[in-house]
Amino acid sequence: MQTRTDLIEDLMGRFPHIPREAVIKEDLLRGGMAFDDSALSDNENGDVKPKSYFIFSFDHRTLPELGTAALRRPPEEIVLTGGPYGLRRTVVSVRVNPDSPYRVKDDGSGALQLFLDDRPIAYVGLPPMPEYYRHRLANGKSVMEVAPTIQWGYLVYLTVFRVCQYFGAKEECQYCDINHNWRQHKAAGRPYTGVKPVDEVLEAMEIIDRYDTAGASRAYTLTGGSVTSKVDGLAEADFYGRYAKAIEERFPGRWIGKVVAQALPKDDVQRFHDYGIRIYHPNYEVWDKRLFELYCPGKERYVGREEWHRRILDSADVFGPRNVIPNFVAGVEMAAPYGFATVDEAIDSTAEGLEYFMSRGITPRFTTWCPEPTTPLGRTNPQGAPLEYHIRLLEVYRATMEANGLSSPPGYGPPGAGNAVFSVSSFMDSLPAEESPAATPA
Ligand code: SF4
């Protein structure tokens, strides 16, 4: 029987031009990792930066099924180095799966290592608790709850609206657990603010600015669920835009401002830009027409795929194509019951979408799909997509980018294995380690 070690070594052998770091990182992101209790954090009171649950759960089990990891949070990210594959520094977002063949534990000498099939394959570094997490807002809320940072501190992740107005099985994207994640945190009694007040966000940003003396924090992302009617009396562009306006007025140019929102009409997109946002992520989720209709039923019903794509192209007139970076969820192309049955077909479809945007100067990026158990596609596909799909996607992504004369998108930190900090997919790890002033933290 093929072990997971056999699987990754087979792919490393067949795709020698893909960094080994990316093979392991993709496998960890699609399938999760387990933790010995000794590798968990002491929440906000310890020396390790805990997982903030910044938007989705990104876990393979619900909170009540995580055991000790539900009481003592796992780290937000881990960094891998060394081991038999000679890994360069690789930052990986933590997705917990107690049944994973990957386990983080003490190797017996006091050092933490990542074990695969009971064999140590890399040393594990944990993110230190940032000084700004040790300070609270005047009302007692934690910075981790209001303005968590990810990507080894590079990105402040402002999920200012913790739920989505695409609601229920007929509207929610079929791989998304944003609404469930909100419910499970509420049920566990954790602080989890549905709509974050602007003043609280500003206060948390002030604390980050004051205590981030190393200058690691370089960008912020405003995001949350889609707004199909109104929140606080505001439609989507003005709701998310008001946070950017306040941040830019208080801290002009301190961070690169980004927003993840729906593909909105051009007037609304212009308002995002006027509010001070510089990078726009109108996510297209999955390229194939039939899969978009079936797996993103709310977006299909309210906007429709063709209109969605037209708006993405239109937004390049406002932001410039380089600063329009639509996301897709890598792996749902192969999700049963409607996904492609073969890796070849799935890659061909994804490549068509990449070419559609990249030939117009727009650089998509992707998040590796985590099959969360409370979503329809997570229930049907608990193993996620085949690892070969993820590896071949890295190959076709880089090839399409280079064929169109593009380089790594701005706002993602440095590219290249050993340099990348983007933690929820390895597309930045597999690009050339070129220096890009707009993309490199100082
Ligand atoms: S639009 Fe889809 S992916 Fe985005 S939050 Fe709503 S349900 Fe989730």
Phi, psi of 81 (to 5 degrees): -150, 155
d(CA 158, CA 55) in angstroms, rounded, equals 9
> 387, 27 in Cβ contact below 8 A?
yes
Phi, psi of 223 (to 5 degrees): -160, -175
- Residue 435: what pLDDT? 56
- Residue 1: what pLDDT? 85
* Surface-to-core class of residue 405, CB atoms within 10 Å of its CB (0-12 exposed, 13-18 middle, 19+ buried): exposed
> 77, 127 in Cβ contact below 8 A?
yes
Nearest-10 crossing angle of helices 20-31, 4-14: 140
133-179 confidence digits (pLDDT tens): 999 999 999 999 999 999 999 999 999 999 999 999 899 999 999 99
Kind plus residue range of the DSSP H or E element containing 367? strand 365-368
The tokens describing 87, both together, are 């890994």
Task: Report which protein residue has its CA nearest ligand 1's atom 8.
Answer: 176
- For ligand 1, is residue 163 a contact (CB within 6 Å)? no
Q: Atom of ligand 1 at shortest distance to CA of 224?
A: 5
Ordered by where they begin, the domains of the chain are: 4-125 (no CATH), 142-395 (3.20.20.70)
> 104, 35 in Cβ contact below 8 A?
yes
189-236 confidence digits (pLDDT tens): 888 888 999 999 999 999 999 999 999 999 999 999 999 999 999 999
Q: Is 151 left (phi over 0), alpha (psi -120 to 50) or beta?
A: left
- Residue 437: what pLDDT? 46
> 287, 349 in Cβ contact below 8 A?
yes
CA–centroid distance, residue 112 to ligand 1 (Å): 36
Rounded (5°) CA angle 380-429-91: 75
- For ligand 1, is residue 343 a contact (CB within 6 Å)? no
Q: How many CB atoms lie within 10 A of CB 169?
A: 9
110-127 confidence digits (pLDDT tens): 999 999 999 999 999 999
> 156, 205 in Cβ contact below 8 A?
yes
DSSP class per residue in 130-141:
PGGGG-B-TTS-
Phi, psi of 86 (to 5 degrees): 60, 45
CA–centroid distance, residue 437 to ligand 1 (Å): 32
Rounded (5°) CA angle 277-281-285: 165
Point out which residues pair with 155 in neighbouring strands.
Answer: 150, 219
pLDDT by residue for the chain (442 residues), tens only, comes to 899 999 999 999 999 999 999 999 999 999 999 999 999 999 988 999 999 999 999 999 999 999 899 899 999 999 999 999 999 999 999 999 999 999 999 999 999 999 999 999 999 999 999 999 999 999 999 999 999 999 999 999 999 999 999 999 899 999 999 999 899 988 988 888 889 999 999 999 999 999 999 999 999 999 999 999 999 999 999 999 999 999 999 999 999 999 999 999 999 999 999 999 999 999 999 999 999 999 999 999 999 999 999 999 999 999 999 999 999 999 999 999 999 999 999 999 999 999 999 999 999 999 999 999 999 999 999 999 999 999 999 999 999 999 999 999 998 989 999 999 999 999 999 999 975 444 433 3
**How large is the greatest C-alpha to C-alpha distance in the chain, in angstroms?**
60
Among the listed residues 199, 165, 169, 170, the one whose alpha carbon sits nearest the alpha carbon of residue 182: 165
Among the listed residues 268, 251, 267, the one whose alpha carbon sits nearest the alpha carbon of residue 259: 268
d(CA 186, CA 123) in angstroms, rounded, equals 35
CA–centroid distance, residue 152 to ligand 1 (Å): 25
> 152, 128 in Cβ contact below 8 A?
no
Task: Report which protein residue has its CA nearest ligand 1's atom 5.
Answer: 225
- Residue 191: what pLDDT? 82
- Residue 171: what pLDDT? 96
- Residue 189: what pLDDT? 87
Q: Which of 54, 163, 172 to mutate to test the pocket of ligand 1 (most atoms within 8 A of CB)?
A: 172
CA–centroid distance, residue 7 to ligand 1 (Å): 32
**Edge-first strand listing for the sheet containing 279-282:** 149-150, 155-161, 219-224, 256-261, 279-282
Q: How many CB atoms lie within 10 A of CB 295?
A: 24
